[in-house]
Structure 1
Amino acid sequence: MNACSCIYVNDIIMKMDKEKLERAAYILKAMAHETRLCVLMQLAETKEKSVSDLQQEVGCEQSLLSHHLTDLRAKGILNARRDGQRNLYSLNNEQIIPLLECILNYCK
């Protein structure tokens, strides 16, 4: 392999890593709020909850909680489904759970 192809392969690897880093920063920014972290931890424990259940556990106004839920859903971190008149929220990917645990353990 000549030097030119090595540089090209390295550029592809660097671009891939940059895309992963950008995605990681995007996810971490979305999580970077006490209420959002609390919501994610609650959903990590019970898999799926309604807005009213989350409101009781998180302890903030329903309108503010809905704003946080909408943002987390828009960023692909949460799923939402309708059950009658209730919206039920769950984690989009459970691989976020070890990340949450790591962050909380780091803060001890």
Structure 2
Amino acid sequence: MTTMEEVNLQGLSAEKIEKVAFILKAIAHPMRLGIVKLLAEHEELSVSAICEMMGSEQSLTSHHLSNMKLKGILECKREGKNILYSLKMKEVLGVLKCMSSCDAL
């Protein structure tokens, strides 16, 4: 078991801790994590493409997309009838990469 003394806490300023906490709260849902993963792999996707890939309903997916957009995690643009979403806050990928390398998960 790792003790707090063994954990390298260098570089964790109060500002960085606040930013990571904000990101974690904003994506703390399996569907939101799935959406972020898809957007990391595809750069930008329409709501219908996200729904199809995740096997989810459009209303629920749109709710999660809107929430993450309001928090600055995602951005979107209109292309004809479609709204295309992409990652705006690229730091999310660093947080996810760090989480994926954690042996305890």
TM-score by length of 2: 0.78
Query: Please, what is the CA RMSD of the aligned residues?
Result: 1.6
- Is 1:91 paired with 2:87? yes
Whichever of the two has the greater Rg, that structure is 1
Q: Which has the higher helix share?
A: 1
Q: What fraction of aligned residue pairs are identical, expressed as a percent?
A: 43
Amino acid of the residue matched to residue 78 of structure 1? L
Amino acid of the residue matched to residue 65 of structure 1? T
Deviation at 1:101, TM superposition (A): 2.4
Size of the aligned set, in residue pairs, is 92
The superposition leaves residues 53-101 of structure 1 with CA deviations (integer Å, 9 ceiling, x where unpaired) of: 0001112111000000001001100001000110000000333223222
TM-score by length of 1: 0.76
In structure 2, stretches of 5+ residues that fail to align are 1-12
Which of the numbers 57, 81, 97 marks the counterpart of 2:53? 57
Q: Is 46-55 or 94-103 further displaced after alignment?
A: 94-103
In structure 1, stretches of 5+ residues that fail to align are 1-16
